[in-house]
Amino acid sequence: MKAPPEKLSFGWAKFFAGIFFGSIISWMVFIYMYGVTQEQQVKIINELKDEKNDLIRDKNILMESQERLNEENKRNLTVQEIKVTIINEKQYSLNKFTRYQLIEDVQNDLSHLLTQDIRSVSRNRELLRRAIENKVYKKDDRRFKLLVDTIYFDTTLEITLKIRSTK
C-alpha cells in the first residue's frame, strides 16, 4: 500500500480553491440580493405606514365632519309622528272605540305640531301639557279630562296620558 503524497495534486488544489472562491462570491451575491430585497421591503413598509397615517387622518377628519353634521341635523329635526297612549284605560272600563276616539281627538288637537322643529316643541312643553289637560273630551255621554304622565320628544312625539273622569 502506498502512502498518500504530502502535497495535493494541482487538480485537487484548483477544486478546493474553486469551492472557496465560489462560496465567497456566492455569499457576496446572496448578501447583495438580500440587501436589495430588504431595502425594497423597508421602502414598501414605509409607504404603507405613510398611507395608514393618511387614512387615519382622513378618517378622523370625516368623523369630525360627520359628528358636526349630526349635531346640525339634531338641531333641525322635526316632529314626524305623534303617538298617544293611555295608561289607565281599564280603570274606567273604556271600550276600544272610545279609547281610539280619545287618542284620535288628542292627535287631532296636536296635529299642528307635525313638521315643527323638536326644539321649539320641547320649549313649549308646558303649553302642550296645559292644552291637553284643560280640555274636556266628551265620549258616550261621559266627560273625560286627561292628565299628561310623560312626554318624550323625538321625531316621534310620544305622550302617555292618564284619564280622569268628570261628571
Mutual angle of helices 125-133 and 96-109, in 10-degree steps: 140
Domain boundaries, the chain: 10-76, 81-166
Encoded amino acid at 47, one letter: E
Question: 11-58, pLDDT tens digit by residue?
Answer: 878 888 999 999 999 999 999 999 999 999 999 999 999 999 999 999
Helices (H), 1-151: 10-75, 96-109, 118-123, 125-133
Total-model pTM: 0.55
What is the rounded CA–CA span in Å between residue 62 and residue 49? 20
Question: 91-117, pLDDT tens digit by residue?
Answer: 878 888 888 998 999 999 998 888 888
> Could you tell me the sign of the dihedral formed by the alpha carbons of 99, 101, 106, 110, in that order?
positive
What is the rounded CA–CA span in Å between residue 127 and residue 146? 14
